[in-house]
Amino acid sequence: MTENRYNTIVVGGGIAGLTSAAYLSRAGQKVLLIEKNKEFGGLVNSFSRNGFHFEGGVRALEDAGIIFPMLKDLGIQLEVVKSPVSLGIGKDVIGIETVKDLDKYRELLIKLFPESKSEIDNFLRIIRKIMKHMEVLYGIENPVFKDLIKDRTFIFKKLLPWLPRFIFTVGKINRMNMPVEDYLKTVVKNPSLRDMISQHFFKNTPAFFALSYFSLYIDYFYPKGGVGKLSDALKNKITEFGGGLKPETKIIEVQADNKLVIDQNNLSYNYDNLIWANDLKSLYKITSTEGLSLKIKIKFEETKSSMLQSRGTDSVFSLFLEVDEPLESFRKIAHGHFFYTPSKTGLGETHREELNKLLHDFGNIKKEEILAWLDKFTKLNTYEISIPGLKDPELVPPGQTGIIISFLAEYDLFKEIRKAGWLDEFTVEIENRMINVLSESVYPMLKDKIIGRFSFTPLHIENRVGSSEGAIVGWSFQKKMPVVNKIQISDRSVFTAIPSVYQAGQWAYSPAGVPMSILTGKLAADKVLKNKI
Ligand SMILES: Cc1cc2nc3c(=O)[nH]c(=O)nc-3n(C[C@H](O)[C@H](O)[C@H](O)COP(=O)(O)OP(=O)(O)OC[C@H]3O[C@@H](n4cnc5c(N)ncnc54)[C@H](O)[C@@H]3O)c2cc1C
C-alpha cells in the first residue's frame, strides 16, 4: 500500500469520526482521520481562557445506553461526575435529580399557572409514560457495542428479554412523531404554559424526542476536566491502535470513481472506503461522479437535491463570562446545568412569526426595530446556563466562576446582520441584554463582577465545524427528512449514494446528538469491516 493509500479515510474529527477511526484502527485497518481544525472533537470540545474552562459545544453528556458501553468496549477509563440539572422560571428554581423530582416540577407549574392544574397533571402523566419508554429504549447497553458472538450471557439474559419490549416501545414512539408544538396544543391550552414547557426545543422537534428530555436531564454526566476529555480519550485510543490523525487539513474534493480525496493544499489521499463524518451538504457539493455508472449518477443527483433543499436545525448563540465571584454564590442558586426562563409570559410568536417578518423584509427594517425585537426576545427566552466549575471545581481560578449562557438562535438573522455590516455591534447588544436580564432576575451579583466576556454566534459554529446554517444537531425537523429517522432502521443510516462512501454523525440520522453521532460512527465502521470480509 503506497503512503497515501488507506483502507479507510474518515473525514471529520468530531465525536462520530473519532469513534469510526477508533474502531477501524482497533480492527487493524490502515486508517487516517482528517480534521480541518487544529483540535479534534468538533462540537464535543473544551477550551481555556485566562484560567477559566469552557465548553465550545455540548455542555454535558447523556449516556443513552451508548457512551458508557462504547468506553468499556474500547477500554477507555474516563473519570466522570453526575451533572444534575436545575429548571427555573422567574424566582422559582428546582433541581431535577431523580424521577421523583417531577413532583417539584408539577408544583412549580401549578404555582405559576394555577388555572391549568388539570392540564398540568395530564401533561405530567404523559411525561411519566415517556420516561418509562425511555427506560426501555436505553435500558440495556446498546447491543452495537457488545460482542454478540462471545457474550452469551448478554444475549440470553438481557437482549432477548428486552427485544419484545423494545419493539412495543418503538411502535409507541412512532405514533408521537408530530412536532412538539402541535402535540402540546392538544394537551395544554394556555400558550404561555406551552412555551414554558417547550420553547427551548428546536422548531418542530418530534414530540417524543422533545418530551424525553426529562429523562435526559437525569442521565447527564460530565467528564472531569470537561466534555472535551471524551474526544481526547478517543483520539489517544486511535494513536494507541496505530491509526493516523491529520489535523489542520480540509477536504475540498472527493473523486468518487478514483476513490480519492483532495485537501486544501492539493494533496490527494486514496481510500478503499471513505467515512464522511461531517456536514452532508458539503459531501454532495464537492463530490465528482465522473466515470461512475448512469444509475449511480441518477441516485447521487436525487440524494444531492434532497440534501440541498433541506436545512440544518436552529443554531445557538453562546455568551462566555469570566466572573470575579466564587462558585458558592452560584451553587446556592442552581446546579451547574440550568435551564432558566426569566418570565412566565413565554416567547409566543416572538421567535418565529415576528422574526420571520423581520427577515422577510430585512432590507427595509431599521436597526431600532431589530433591537426592539431583541429586547423582547431576550426577556422572554429560555437560557441554557452551564457553570463548568460547579461540576469540577478545578476548572476555574480560585474564588472565580466561568459561565456559559446560550439560547437557540436563527442563523439567517446573523447572516443578514453580517451582510448589513453591524454584526459586532449586534453581538454586543445581545450580550448586554442577556447580562441585564439575568442580573435583574436569577443572578443579581452578576453584572458588577464580570471581568471578561466573549461570545460565539451561529456564524462561528458554521465556520468552526463547517455545519450548514450553523446547525448544532444536524437536520431541522421537517416532513421529508433526507436521512433515516426511525430507530428500528438506524443501521441503514450510514449508507450514501456514493460507492464505498459511508456517512456518520449528526447529519446521518435524525434526531441526533452526541449518542447518535457515536452510534452512527460505530455503525459506519461496522459496515466497512463487514464489506472487507
Ligand atoms: C451548545 C450545544 C449544545 C448541545 N447540547 C447537546 C445535548 O445536550 N445533547 C446532545 O446529545 N447533543 C448536544 N449537542 C449536539 C452535539 O454536540 C452534536 O450533535 C455532536 O457533537 C455532533 O458530532 P459530529 O461528530 O457528528 O459532528 P461535528 O462535531 O460537527 O464534527 C464534524 C467535524 O468535521 C470537521 N470537518 C468539517 N468539514 C471538514 C472537511 N471538509 N474536512 C475535514 N474536516 C472537516 C469539523 O471541523 C468537525 O470537527 C449540542 C451542541 C451544541 C453546540
pLDDT at residue 459 greater than cutoff 70: yes
* Buried/exposed 122-136: b ≥16 CB within 10 Å, e otherwise: ebbeebeebbebbeb
Grid coordinates in use for 330? 452560584
Place of cell 487493524: 28
Which is more confident, 8 or 480? 8
Q: How far is Cα 121 from Cα 273, in angstroms, rounded to an integer?
A: 53
Q: What is the CATH number of domain 314-465?
A: 3.90.660
* pTM of the complete model: 0.97
* Per-residue confidence band for 523, with pLDDT thresholds at 50, 70 and 90: very high
Nearest CA to ligand 1 atom 3: 58
Question: Please, are residues 222 and 61 in contact by the beta-carbon 8 Å criterion?
Answer: yes
Q: How far is the CA of 339 from the centre of ligand 1 (A)?
A: 21
What is the percentage of the chain residues whose pLDDT exceeds 90? Answer: 86
Sign of CA dihedral 458, 459, 465, 468: positive
Q: Does an H or E element contain 151, and which?
A: none
Helix axes 228-240, 67-74, angle to 10 degrees: 30
Looking only at the bridges linking them, the beta strands covering 31-34 and 244-246 are: parallel
Enumerate residues 6+ apart whose C-beta is below 8 A from 145: 66, 69, 70, 72, 73, 522
Q: Which of 15, 58, 245 to mutate to test the pocket of ligand 1 (most atoms within 8 A of CB)?
A: 58
Q: Is the pLDDT of residue 533 over 70?
A: no
How far is 59 from 72, CA to CA, in rounded Å? 22
> Which protein residues are within 6 Å of ligand 1, measured from CB?
11-17, 34-37, 42-44, 57-59, 62, 250-251, 277-278, 282, 316, 406, 465-467, 472-473, 505-506, 512-515, 517
Res 170: pLDDT: 87
User: What is the reported pLDDT for 138?
Assistant: 84
Task: With a cut of 70, say whether residue 3 has pLDDT above it.
Answer: no
Which H/E stretch holds residue 502?
Answer: strand 501-503
Q: In 53-179, which ranges are continuous DSSP H helix? A: 67-74, 102-112, 117-137, 152-153, 160-174
Distance separating alpha carbons of residues 454 and 56, to the nearest angstrom: 12
Paired with 86 in beta bridges are 95, 338
The residues of the chain that CATH labels 3.90.660 are: 314-465
Determine the length of the chain: 533
Give 119-136 pLDDT, tens digit per residue: 999 999 999 998 888 888
Percent of the chain with pLDDT over 70: 99
Q: How many Å from the N-terminal Cα to the C-terminal Cα in the chain?
A: 19
At 221-268, the pLDDT tens digits run: 999 999 999 999 999 999 999 999 999 999 999 999 999 999 999 999
CB proximity list for 435: less than 8 A, separation 6 or greater: 319, 321, 446, 447, 450, 453
Instruction: Tell me the CATH class for 5-45+58-76+225-311+477-532.
Output: alpha beta
Report how far ligand 1's centroid is from the alpha carbon of 160 (Å): 34
Which of 43, 222, 407, 475, when mutated, tests ligand 1's pocket best, judged by the most ligand atoms within 8 Å of its CB?
43
Residue 169 or 41, more confident: 41
How would DSSP label each residue in 187-241? Answer: T---HHHHHHHHTTSPTT-BHHHHHTHHHHHHHEEEETT-THHHHHHHHHHHHHT
Could you tell me where in the chain the CATH 3.50.50.60 domains are found? 5-45+58-76+225-311+477-532
Q: Tell the residue nearest (CA) to atom 34 of ligand 1.
A: 12
- Identify whether the C-beta of residue 488 lies closer than 8 Å to the C-beta of residue 481: no
Q: Report the pLDDT value the prediction gives residue 532, as an integer from 0 to 100.
A: 64
11 Cα–ligand 1 center, Å: 13
